[in-house]
């Protein structure tokens, strides 16, 4: 869980678009062109979600929101609902807007919480571990951007991500290698290992289907209740209970006040 809470999603939107877009991988080195719009992210599957939103008549903000939630399923190291970020919008009419939904420090945080008695950072605790977790801002930021600039119903933007989590996605070589790279983290944080490994502790192999039922249920609560489906209710309780049990300091009050 900790690693998923640390990643920042940054969305940049250059223009308002309508439909008929093409997908581009963020890692491509060659120019990508489209007549009506382009969706680029770290995951081809997530980018396709954005493209479909454009084809349905959604605008750039709709596509960005849907892609962001899809990334929570397909690309846990680059997009998730446990982090925060920025979203910059520039419309064809010249309107410009910026949204800052970075993580916030919990109310119980102090300036010395990571330091030992000699004033040195203790065991990299400011970067690794449950005390390094900030109060997530992604869900609140995406909802605000959609309320102000989106056009399609909120529910429609969440459904593709829910379907991906519920039905599963094929493990790519990149995900396989990433999961193996983070084995030390899975050993250190068993709750994360339960998400990214088989029940017997073995790695998912390329081509295997990775299902995330818990994430699907979390996304459904956000779909039904907007940001309150994350910062209040069952999801907030689960987060706060996990924090309390494992020495964290994020509370339901922290989540409710974001």
- Euclidean distance between CA atoms 52 and 22, whole angstroms: 9
Q: Is 100 among the domain residues?
A: yes
Q: Is 204 among the domain residues?
A: no
Per-residue pLDDT reduced to its tens digit, 62-75: 999 999 999 999 99
Q: Is 200 among the domain residues?
A: no
What SS3 state is found at 173?
helix
Could you tell me the two tokens for 230?
């994350």
Instruction: Answer yes or no: are the C-beta atoms of 60 and 83 closer than 8 Å.
Output: no
Per-residue pLDDT reduced to its tens digit, 83-130: 999 999 999 999 999 999 999 999 999 999 999 999 999 999 999 999
Over residues 171-197, the mean pLDDT reads 94
Q: Is 72 among the domain residues?
A: yes
Q: Is 95 among the domain residues?
A: yes
The domain containing residue 27 runs over which residues? 3-168+211-256
Q: Is 81 among the domain residues?
A: yes
Counting the structural domains of the chain, the total is: 1
Q: Is 31 among the domain residues?
A: yes
Q: How far is CA 104 from the centre of its chain?
A: 16
The rounded percent of the chain whose pLDDT value lies above 90 is 83
- Tell which residue, 77, 83, 23, has the closest CA to residue 54: 23
| Pairing of β 96-101 and β 84-90 | antiparallel
Q: Is 188 among the domain residues?
A: no
**pTM, two decimal places:** 0.86
């Amino acid at each position: 869980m900790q690693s998923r809470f640390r990643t920042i999603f940054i969305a940049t939107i250059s223009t308002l678009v309508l439909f008929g877009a093409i997908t581009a991988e963020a890692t491509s080195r060659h120019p990508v062109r489209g007549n009506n719009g382009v969706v680029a992210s770290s995951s081809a599957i997530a980018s396709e979600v954005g493209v479909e939103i454009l084809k349905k008549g959604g605008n750039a903000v709709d596509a960005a929101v849907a892609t962001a939630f899809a990334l929570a399923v397909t690309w846990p190291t680059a997009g998730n609902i446990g982090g925060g970020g920025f979203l910059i919008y520039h419309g064809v009419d010249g309107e410009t807007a910026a949204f800052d939904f970075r993580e916030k420090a919990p109310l119980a945080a102090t300036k010395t919480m990571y330091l030992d008695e000699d004033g040195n950072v203790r065991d990299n605790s400011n970067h690794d571990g449950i005390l390094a977790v900030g109060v997530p801002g992604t869900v609140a930021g995406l909802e605000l951007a959609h309320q102000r600039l989106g056009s399609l119903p909120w529910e429609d933007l969440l459904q593709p991500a829910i379907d991906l989590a519920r039905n599963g996605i094929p493990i790519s070589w990149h995900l396989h290698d990433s999961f193996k790279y983070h084995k030390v983290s899975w050993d250190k944080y068993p709750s994360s290992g339960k998400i990214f490994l088989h029940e017997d502790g073995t790695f998912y192999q390329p081509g295997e289907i990775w299902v995330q039922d818990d994430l699907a249920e979390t996304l459904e609560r956000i779909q039904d209740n907007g940001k309150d489906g994350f910062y209040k209710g069952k999801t907030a309780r689960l987060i706060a209970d996990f924090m309390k049990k494992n020495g964290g300091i994020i509370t339901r009050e922290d989540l409710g006040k974001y």
